[in-house]
Structure 1
Amino acid sequence: MPGGADDWAKKLRELEERADRAEARAHAAENVIGALRDVAEGMSMSGGIRHDPALRYDAIMAREVRARVGGVLSVLDALPCATLLVDRGLRIAPEYSRATPTILGMPELVGKVVGDVLMPTDPRLRVMLHACLDQTFDDVFPEEVNLAQLPARVVRSGKVLAIAGSVVRDANGVVEHVLLTITDQSQLESSLREMRHSALLVSILRQRDAFRLFLRDFALQASAGKEAVEAGDQATARRALHTMKGNAATFGLDGLAMSAHYMEEFEALESDHFLELEETLEAFLQSNLATLGDVAETDLALRVSSDAARDLERILAARTLSRARVERWAAELRLVPFERLAGALPQLVLHLAERLEKLVDFAVEGGECLVDAARLAPIVAVLPHLLRNALDHGIELPDERGEKPAMARLVLRVEETADGWEIELADDGRGIQLDKLVSRALAEGVVSEEALAAMDLRARLGLIFADNVSTTETATDISGRGIGMGAVASTVRAQGGHVEIDSHEGRGTAIRLRVPKPPALVLEVPRSLPVPAA
């Protein structure tokens, strides 16, 4: 693939270095302007009758001022960023760099209100900017606190502009101007997008089997969602949408995930919502077809190994051909290592942990365990719901973990049993807040006071799998809607399995998904047969 990740990384570093140099030049110009202002203020305070030495001194100072002014103007003209001096009336002063009109696309700037220049079509950001500047001129709070409220990023006329500010004070320490340094980040952001896109395609290619399963499950969830809408079953439709959102985020398809997140805000889902997500995914696949190739195909190719072929030869060569043996052989062909299905999960954990500023040691134990791809693929598709809940609600921030290690432990275990598979996700976080869980379940009408009184601890913990039940008050694009856990439970039940949960306050939570094997794999039939004697 032309233009590898290393090339994009190098390009990114070069752009970042250019931005750093521009910022350094801006700060240098600011310092020179401040020094010049101090000199000018000092000179304006002198007066009275002057003697020749004083006049000579003034002449020397005047020459120095002219030289320094020339130097400042040279610096300003050389800056590749826009600089605006804003007065107390929020209007732009005459001093700005030569690049400023070009970057802002306005030849005349002096006397204009700064918000009208920088945010002509965004009244909300304009109000934020003016409020921040007013607060800075009032000088009640530290200037770092005031300037931290500046809108850091503005999109203007197709350009992405980054804004930083600093305070200019007079000889008495009163805020006289605010200097805004504005850099055009369009090329940098474009390079970042291209680099992220390249990394996304590389990740998909590395996990091609898991991505094919994602595509197949995405189509199934979309179909189930549309059918649920037509049947008036909004709860099932929302579970399907929530699962589609989570799985898209798992593979780094952030735009697709955010579209689904916005759709969750609608009071009632419609079939067109699911159709729009399908079309968005299809557009992504088509635009990257040259790179992804057959990865975009949703059907997993059935590969017969040489060992499996020899097994079939032995079965066919046996004197008594057993239908059960043939079915067992066919079922074993569908077995794949669990890690092939769950390839994208470690990246999901890493991404979310960084975003939530949490330290997490994530491990997959039993990844080599052979599982039925058709039976376990729907289960793997809902595992991101469990991971997001563990990271967002279960695992604490490093400084909140008390005597526990700052690095939290999150383990996904897979084990084969005689009649099925057990998948367990365990963390060492804060545990489920049972009081909040029960209160929310009562408030949502999921359980009555009488039914609750008859429940043991495990049954009460199981309320977390009911729709609209969550221990958090605020929903985010990560979790908190009370839908994901219900999607997990319903998916496991659809495969004939069940869910168990254990949680201890301050020690963590373990959720186990038990899924039965297909009947052919449970039969007491040898995996392979000896070759008959000649």
Structure 2
Amino acid sequence: MTEMSWERRAEAAEKTVRVLKHEVRKLHDGGAQSPIHRALEKARQREEQNRQRRELAEVRAANLEDQVAERTRAIRTILDHVTFGFLVVGPDGRVREGFTRSCEALFAREPEVGGALTELLRCDARQSAEMALGLDQIFEDFMPEEVTVDQLPKRFEIEARVLRLEARAVRAEDETVDGVLFTVSDITALEAAERESRHREVLIGILQQKTAFEQFVMDTRTSLEMALEAVDDQVTVRRVVHTVKGNAASWGLDDVVSVTHEVEMDAEIGGDGIAAVHAAMRAFLKDNVAVLGFDYDDVEPAFEITAENLKRLRTLAADPANMNEVSGWIRQVVQRPAHELIGPMNSFVEKLGQRLEKEVEFELSGEDVQVDSEVMRPVLRNLSHLVRNSVDHGLEPSWERGEKPARGRVSVHIIDAGRAWEIRVEDDGRGIPVDRLTAKAVKLGRVDAETVAKMDRQQKIALIFEDGVSSADVATDISGRGVGMSAVRAAVRASGGFIDVQTSPRGTCFVLSVPKPSERAAA
């Protein structure tokens, strides 16, 4: 190929320059209508729009930050001045950052981030274990939240304060439990007001049945004195103390119940324990003597008679041949309506049902039946054991009652059966678990397996009256120690009576039959 001469190369370069100049003039002459110019203009407009958007976004962000900061300050001001507190703990039970200022006053110390909640609450070993287990269940998130948070302990005493903690799970975006929020309230004043209100209700209840309460006080004092004399007989002593606790509960004497329960917890109840129960009763009556009008050591049994009856007694006493009639007159004078020996059974069942979270329909009939107070007092004094067992052990929780009404039924009927007085205590609960009862009796050594094998059903049911044998799996401060039922049988037997028991999955009926003194004398 012939190499191009420099002249031709120069001409070609000059031609290229002319073409480029022409195109530049063409673009310039085309102005805003040229494609390049239009593209550049669009790019410029987009940039301007973006700049305006950025400025607007910056203004909005600044305003939003101001609003968030203002709202945060407002929320913090509220939280720092509320009387209740908020704090969050993690799975390890340690306090996270962000608790309210009020927590320092509530806990009487400032919470520390990373500090254990149980230490802040001054928990004992039992409460610490309950708190740890409860938090584990919440973070596992296996059961419904309302169930797991309800398992946590709620009431704590810190120095002179009583605090209540309510928990709620804090969830992350993926709905897993990230923390537990506690609301802390000071309920010291509330509890004090509730105690004062309850105290007034107790006094009103006593004044409405003052004669029955006086009988209870006399029975309690006499029974405890008897227990002190028989202090080596622990079976008898425990029956007495357990009965005092049950009857004190029916009258709402919480301090007496608390002291008596502590005495029951001792491996052996001695003179000091009995004296403590005496002291609790004496303290209640001393504190309220201005309202009740008598104290523990002075109240004595009294009987009212009309002037006409007194005149008749004098006439009968003048002739020794009338001694049988005098005895009959005395039996008539010592008779009282049954309700004076029973006490506030209706309110007792109502409060017991509330405490056990059971709906109970209670019926009491025959409370005006005239009974011999000397004969029936020991029996009726122990009636609370049967009623308490019916509510606690007999009645199922509403969700376990199947086709039965959700509200359980317990009834007490006092009947004058002519030659005897009958007391029927019935419930529509689950019945006595006979197999479990016999197994417990064998385990406690009250009977051997060979003897049980030869028993009929009624004989097995009767094991419920053996000392220490109970149909309950666990003893509580309410029942389950196997003491109350043995006390009932002992009282009925001492009165010359007997007990019949019928039980099935539809309910249980106890019939206590106590012969009248005239029938016992004839026998």
* Length-normalised TM-score, structure 2: 0.80
The alpha carbon displacement at 1:429 in A equals 2.7
Q: For 2:250 and 2:200, how far apart are their aligned partners in 1? A: 16
- Aligned residue for 1:101? 104
CA contact (8 A) 2:349 2:362 kept: yes
Q: Deviations over 1:453-498 (max 9, x none)?
A: 6654433332222212222221122222221111111112222x22
CA contact (8 A) 2:336 2:372 kept: yes
Q: For 2:137 and 2:338, how far apart are their aligned partners in 1? A: 57
Q: For 1:513 and 1:419, how far apart are their aligned partners in 2? A: 13
Q: For 1:398 and 1:290, how far apart are their aligned partners in 2? A: 44
Q: Given the alignment, which residue of 152, 156, 159 partners 2:158?
A: 156
Q: Secondary structure of the equivalent of 1:276?
A: helix
Q: For 1:500 and 1:304, how far apart are their aligned partners in 2? A: 34
The alpha carbon displacement at 1:238 in A equals 1.6
Q: Deviations over 1:326-367 (max 9, x none)?
A: 222222111111122223222222222222333333222222
Q: Deviations over 1:47-77 (max 9, x none)?
A: x999322221222212212221222123213
CA contact (8 A) 2:227 2:237 kept: yes
- Aligned residue for 1:371? 371
Q: Give the stretch that moved more between structures: 307-316 or 174-183.
A: 307-316
- Give unpaired runs (5+ residues) of structure 2: 1-50
* Length-normalised TM-score, structure 1: 0.78
- Aligned residue for 2:71? 68
The one-letter amino acid of 1:445's match is: G
Q: For 1:145 and 1:368, how far apart are their aligned partners in 2? A: 46
Q: For 2:279 and 2:252, how far apart are their aligned partners in 1? A: 17
Q: For 2:388 and 2:118, how far apart are their aligned partners in 1? A: 42
Q: For 2:401 and 2:520, how far apart are their aligned partners in 1? A: 44
The one-letter amino acid of 2:410's match is: L
Q: Secondary structure of the equivalent of 2:447?
A: coil
Q: For 1:482 and 1:88, how far apart are their aligned partners in 2? A: 42
Q: Give the stretch that moved more between structures: 388-397 or 92-101.
A: 92-101
- Aligned residue for 1:200? 202
How many residues align? The count is 471
- Aligned residue for 2:348? 348
Residue 182 (str. 1) matches residue 184 (str. 2) = yes
Q: Give the stretch that moved more between structures: 379-388 or 451-460.
A: 451-460
- Aligned residue for 1:502? 501
- Aligned residue for 2:359? 359
Q: For 1:134 and 1:370, how far apart are their aligned partners in 2? A: 59
- Aligned residue for 1:10? none
The alpha carbon displacement at 1:124 in A equals 4.5
Alignment of 1:276-291 (within 5 A): 276-291=276-291
Q: Give the stretch that moved more between structures: 190-199 or 460-469.
A: 460-469
- Aligned residue for 1:29? none
Q: For 1:171 and 1:475, how far apart are their aligned partners in 2? A: 45
Q: Secondary structure of the equivalent of 2:403?
A: coil
CA contact (8 A) 1:338 1:367 kept: yes
Q: Deviations over 1:388-408 (max 9, x none)?
A: 122222233333333333333
Q: For 1:291 and 1:306, how far apart are their aligned partners in 2? A: 30
Q: For 1:126 and 1:448, how far apart are their aligned partners in 2? A: 42
Alignment of 1:360-509 (within 5 A): 360-448=360-448, 451-452=451-452, 455-495=455-495, 497-509=496-508
- Aligned residue for 1:253? 253
- Give unpaired runs (5+ residues) of structure 1: 1-47, 524-534
Q: Deviations over 1:24-69 (max 9, x none)?
A: xxxxxxxxxxxxxxxxxxxxxxxx9993222212222122122212
Compared CA separation, residues 398 and 146, structure 1 to 2 (3 A) = closer
Q: Given the alignment, which residue of 224, 227, 238 partners 2:226?
A: 224
CA contact (8 A) 1:308 1:333 kept: no
The alpha carbon displacement at 1:305 in A equals 3.0
CA contact (8 A) 1:119 1:125 kept: no
Q: Secondary structure of the equivalent of 1:264?
A: helix
The one-letter amino acid of 1:189's match is: E
The one-letter amino acid of 1:390's match is: S
Q: Give the stretch that moved more between structures: 338-347 or 94-103.
A: 94-103
- The Cα RMSD (Å) is 3.3
Higher relative contact order, chain-length normalized (CA < 8 Å, sep 6+): 1
Residue 52 (str. 1) matches residue 55 (str. 2) = yes
Structure whose CA Rg is larger: 2
